[in-house]
Amino acid sequence: MRIAMIGTGYVGLVSGACFSEFGMSVTCVDSDASKIERLKQGEIPIYEPGLNQLVAGNANSGRLRFATDLKAAVADADAVFLAVGTPSRRGDGHADLSFVYAAVQEIAHALSGYAVVITKSTVPVGTGDTIDRMIREIRPDADYDVASNPEFLREGSAINDFMRPDRVVIGVDSERAKEVMRRIYRVLYLIETPIVFTDRVTAELTKYAANAFLATKITFINEIADLCEAVGADVHDVARGIGLDGRIGRKFLHAGPGFGGSCFPKDTLALVQTARDAGAALRIVETVVDINTERKRRMAAKIIDACGGAVAGKAIGLLGVTFKPNTDDMRDAPSLEIVPALQAAGAIVRAFDPAGMAEGKKLLADVTWCNDAYTAIDGADALVLLTEWNEFRALDLTRTRSLLRRPIFIDLRNVYNPGQMAAAGFIYESIGRPA
């Protein structure tokens, strides 16, 4: 089985490396020659635990290759995966498909012999039909099928999510394409992973519905956390108390500063647009988008309140700027709203992040970037824990307390225990838990 993976971004690189680990022969293609050159040297452009070794191992064995020549890779392939970026289009929230369509044109010209063209990046409902029509128009003679195989991996645990998924969703409309997809995922059949075969449009919609549901679950618990604060209840126990009901489930019930990242914000917006275009209302998801945007802003107000209502001239130590741990990704991170709002109120922000500072320096102005957590804490009037990196879960509290000018600790990820923090001498604020 020969696979061409078009696009070496997050999804493309992880999927390509994992398919080669499954024993397929994979060529990862990108038009960016310098990126391909760096990948050939073993340099991985993204931060993802374990990816380095996986790429190196499979590249050495010859199963994983990197190339700029799309034509040769596609001509040779049984399956062509599209994993190019689909950013939000400015203004209307729709996904920008220009990279997808440009790649499809090239693929159409290069097809030779039967191949399945599969969308792996998240594409709007109906994109598979458009791709099918485009290829047919360009190459009426070509022998191909178009399939949808959305990816459900999370940054930071992408390899495990790919190798041991809860399920695989595949939208195909021919028995021949189905057989190719079965062969590609043969390894997962062995570990009894459920494979959901459906039609293309349904597969495309399933991806958005999954992300919108998860975003809704987070937003629900965030609102319950606000209510907990108002009535003196504990959101941690509420989440546990409801989550142990198998119909609800315990995962994705951690209250926090609002969801960020490259997927939930973009995909919820795109789904709302899809629904509007189709004349259907998706009012829950529309509301989730609004609440989450507003929540990130409100977090700055929460910090200012915890500092006694004013932060002008005060130093705020900030631990974590990425949208979640184990990634260097800052896309739609809560920090991008919170830091400028604190600065606008006159605060001096001193920040540390284990992997996000290179990106943070580009996106956040006037921040004092520190080499470690304790340097960020040193002399601060308040400490904000914004991303729950493991190293922030085990701070030396005595040292932290003594380095802070005032012992104000605002934990926006509920990492610490309120009772212990009070006993350690902190004025401790968290999300949805009594102080």
259 binds ligand UGA (CB under 6 A): yes
Q: Is 263 a catalytic residue?
A: yes
16 binds ligand UGA (CB under 6 A): no
- Core vs surface per residue 136-172: b (16+ CB within 10 A) or e: eeebeebebbbbbbbbbbebbebbebbbebeebbbbb
252 binds ligand UGA (CB under 6 A): yes
Q: Which position among 28, 263, 307, 370 bears the catalytic label?
A: 263
Yes or no: say if 132 and 146 are a contact pair by the CB < 8 Å rule: yes
Phi and psi for 411 in degrees, rounded to 5?
-105, 95
197 binds ligand UGA (CB under 6 A): no
Distance CA 52, CA 187 (A): 22
218 binds ligand UGA (CB under 6 A): yes
| Binds ligand UGA (CB under 6 A): choice among 220, 264, 426, 428 | 264
216 binds ligand UGA (CB under 6 A): no
83 binds ligand UGA (CB under 6 A): no
Q: Which amino acid is at 382?
A: A
220 binds ligand UGA (CB under 6 A): no
* 368-369/195-198 β-pairing: unpaired
Nearer to ligand UGA, 197 or 252 (CB): 252
261 binds ligand UGA (CB under 6 A): yes
214 binds ligand UGA (CB under 6 A): yes
Mask for 305-344, x = binds ligand UGA (CB under 6 A):
------------------xx--------------------
Q: HEC profile for 101-132?
A: HHHHHHHHHHCCCCEEEEECCCCCCCHHHHHH
Q: Total residues contacting ligand UGA (rule CB under 6 A)?
A: 21
254 marked among binding-site residues: yes
30 marked among binding-site residues: yes
Q: Which amino acid is at 253?
A: L
Distance CA 168, CA 197 (A): 8
Q: Distances in Å between the alpha carbon of 216 and those of 252, 287, 318, 366, 370?
A: 10, 9, 27, 34, 35
175 marked among binding-site residues: no
252 marked among binding-site residues: yes
Distance CA 58, CA 22 (A): 10
253 binds ligand UGA (CB under 6 A): yes
Distance CA 6, CA 9 (A): 9
Q: Contact region for ligand UGA (CB under 6 A) — 134-142, 251-259, 308-316, 378-386?
A: 251-259
Distance CA 203, CA 168 (A): 10
CA 184 to chain centre: 24
Nearer to ligand UGA, 265 or 340 (CB): 265
35 marked among binding-site residues: yes
| Binds ligand UGA (CB under 6 A): choice among 263, 311, 355, 380 | 263
Distance CA 106, CA 298 (A): 46
Interface of this chain with ligand UGA, residues 126 to 165, rule: CB under 6 A: 151-155
Looking at the annotation, which residues are catalytic? 263
- Residue numbers at the binding site for ligand UGA (CB under 6 A): 122, 151-155, 211, 214, 218, 252-254, 256, 259-261, 263-264, 267, 323-324
Annotated binding site for NAD(+): which residue ranges? Answer: 30, 35, 86, 122, 155, 266, 331
